[in-house]
Structure 1
Amino acid sequence: MRSCRISGWGTYLPDRVVTFESRSGTATRHRIADDVSQLDMLSAAAEDAIRRAGLTPDDVDCVIAACAAGVQPIPCTASLVMERVAPGARAAAFDVNSTCTSFITAVDIASRYLADGEYERILVVSGDVGSRFLDPEQRESYELFSDAAAAVVLERGTGEQGVLSSLQQTWPEHAHDTELRGGLSRYPAQDYADGDPADYRFDMHGRRALMGMLKVLPGFFDRFFERAGLGLDDVDLVVPHQASGALGIAMRRIGFPRDSYVDAVAEYGNMVSSSVPYTLAKCLEDGRLGPGDTVLLCGTAAGLTANALALRL
């Protein structure tokens, strides 16, 4: 076990709500206002997490931003968050990106730093503004995503708290099933005027991504549980990435019964990197999770990447 504990958490959910009708009913999505930025969301969630942890900003000694798409290419998003919320802290700041599962990757990395004694208090912040990259003509993605942010403060825990096991794997043959091509070195921003506007919007081949995910997930979770020495009965709650309305299909394929995991796709949709931490924070707030519980954080992401981490609270 890598000893660590969540001492505080914070969230930001935009007030603006849009609804879409689907075959399964009404889907609710949250989209930020024109005068709100991604950095505003991340900073608000971070400040909330630090306050709930009973710390001052200067107590933080590492800031990890775990977003699918950052605020700007340079500098790292973590440094911009730190500038807002902890400008006087003597802290490291860097970004981690495994797209939708970035938070899980960041917690995995943070737990190793804490276990090694490198840092004492690490702020992990996630959040994306997917709505600003969507193509209105691509209905399956345009009606799926919500904007949100979430953050946690991780501190070194007792012997009973921490990361029990983790596993991450990528299948690059599915790398182009979901992508945003423009904006960096492949299609630089200055080429936008003469390029294809579609390269600068999110592009998703939903069925191909789903079929790839369903193919690899059962074997991936078999390896995870074998490596962890755990069974599903040892997990109090599964908090998966709220990828799409096919969440239930994926969970059944893996073997998770309906009452073992959180499904909030209808209420919130896909919150990209904030999906897992936002759902986790809500479960901590409403008492669905508490001290001593074991939670499985998991999901898939562009790449195609699968990620799983068992955390004892």
Structure 2
Amino acid sequence: MSLTGAKITAIGSYVPVRRLTNSDLEQMVETNDEWIVQRTGIRERRISREDEYTSDLCVSAAQDLLKRYGKSAGDVDMVIVATSTPDFSFPSVASIIQHRLGIPLTAGAVDMSAACAGFVYALHTAHAYVASGLHRKVLVLGADALSKITDYTDRSTCILFGDGAGAVLVESGEQEDNFLGFHLGSDGGGAHHVYRTGLSHKVNGIELMNSGKLVQNGREVFRWAVRTVPQGIQQVLKNAGAELAQVDWLIPHSANLRMIEPICERLDYPLEQALYSLEYFGNTSAASIPLALDLGVREGKVLNGQQILLYGFGAGLAHAGQLLKLALDPQVGLPAQL
């Protein structure tokens, strides 16, 4: 087994049609547009149809990728889906979309669960597969349908979350490896700060609210993220032998703009060079980073040759960072409207 280069060659994304605005939420809970924007930076979020699930979001994002870059699903040899809202406990979302996209029966298919850090974990795994020579073309998706597990009577959470999906292809390339450095971490002692109960409703000896809906202690998550993420970003750079000044774009998980601001402040990194997808899509968990990356590509901000630092963080409490040099193939078709 020989080591080879790996790069992201194509990207696609999808969000549902329905918009849930701050004005809409004013009719549902005690809140208002000014309060939401001031505290989160969010103006809208997209909500999936009753019969639209994570696998549907993934298929649409992958189809956008295939059309824009003239790629074929016929030679994909691994599918990795990062999600916390699979259609079923099993079968996996990855297996469902393997069939729907016509990906060969010989391809691997697996879901990964790392919540808002999931896409970066999935990307890290895809890089390992391709750089090691075990696979040549891995389809990586980050997708969540959080509206289906959101309590719309809880104003502390329902103002945050939306639905969406992003997809990238990781392929073998030249000897140069465009994955420059990474850092991973987890603090399971804080698992009770963000959760959705399942077979169990107790973690680390702590009894949880057994509602089946997403529950979050926003204050504690904020404190953890603002402390942990800047340290993690510095570790990514150290592992890559790079400096923060070399990073053209920082793409943190789009949890809350008021969380991104102090992260950038602690790093002394310009906020205007941080890309996020939360303003019109809300917090889409595993989809937030690929959505923000694709928005940057669509708007002509993110260009080949630039260095991009992705950092996901959330439930677990898990976090993951990856420094990349972008090397997308030329687009042959127009992206779908978001």
TM-score normalised per structure 1: 0.90
**Which residue is equivalent to 1:200?**
212
Aligned position for 1:186:
200
Question: Is 2:7–2:178's contact at 8 Å kept on the other side of the alignment?
Answer: yes
Query: Partners in 2 of 1:8 and 1:292 — Cα distance?
Result: 14
Q: How does 1:148-297 map to 2 (within 5 A)?
A: 148-182=164-198, 185-186=199-200, 198-246=210-258, 247-297=260-310
Structure 2 CA distance for partners of 1:83 and 1:249, relative to 1, 3 Å: same
Measure, in 1, the Cα distance between the counterparts of 2:52 and 2:86: 15
1:179 maps to a residue whose letter is Y
Q: What are the Cα deviations for residues 173-209 of structure 1, in whole angstroms up to 9, with x where unaligned?
A: 2111110012xx326xxxxxxxx98430000110111
Unmatched 5+ stretches in structure 1 = 188-195
Partner in structure 1 of residue 205 of structure 2: none
Deviates more, 1:96-105 or 1:31-40: 31-40
Contact 2:54 2:93 in 1 (8 A): no
- Is residue 309 from structure 1 mapped to residue 325 from structure 2 by the alignment? no
The answer to whether the 8 Å contact 1:7/1:153 transfers is: yes
Cα separation, 1, equivalents of 2:141 and 2:83: 8
Q: Secondary structure at the match of 1:221?
A: helix
Aligned twin of 2:335: none
C-alpha contact 1:50 1:153 (8 A) present in aligned 2: no
Tell me, yes or no, if structure 1 residue 78 matches structure 2 residue 98: no
Q: 1:171 to 1:118 in 2, by over 3 A?
A: same
2:107 corresponds in structure 1 to 91
Question: How many Å apart are 1:69 and its aligned residue?
Answer: 2.3
CA 1:30 to 1:219, structure 2 compared with 1: closer, same or farther past 3 Å?
same
Inter-partner Cα distance in structure 2 for 1:103 and 1:202: 19
2:274 maps to amino acid: Y
The alpha-carbon deviation at position 288 of structure 1 amounts to 1.1
Write the letter of the residue equivalent to 1:304.
L
Residue type of the alignment partner of 2:227: K
TM-aligned CA deviation for residue 49 of structure 1: 1.9
| Secondary structure at the counterpart of residue 41 of structure 1 | helix
Match of 1:8 in 2: 10
TM-score relative to the length of structure 2: 0.84
Distance 2:16 2:223 in 1: 32
Show CA shifts across 1:242-296 (max 9, x none): 0113221232233322122114422221111100011111212222112111110
Cα RMSD over matched residues?
2.0
Q: Does 1:17 align with 2:31?
A: no
**Runs of 4+ more than 4 Å apart:** none
90-99 or 17-26, which deviates more: 17-26
* 1:62 and 1:92 in contact (8 A); partners too: yes
From 94, 113, 117, give the equivalent of 2:133: 117
Unaligned 5+ residue runs, structure 2? 23-32, 202-207, 327-338
1:56 aligns with 2:85: no
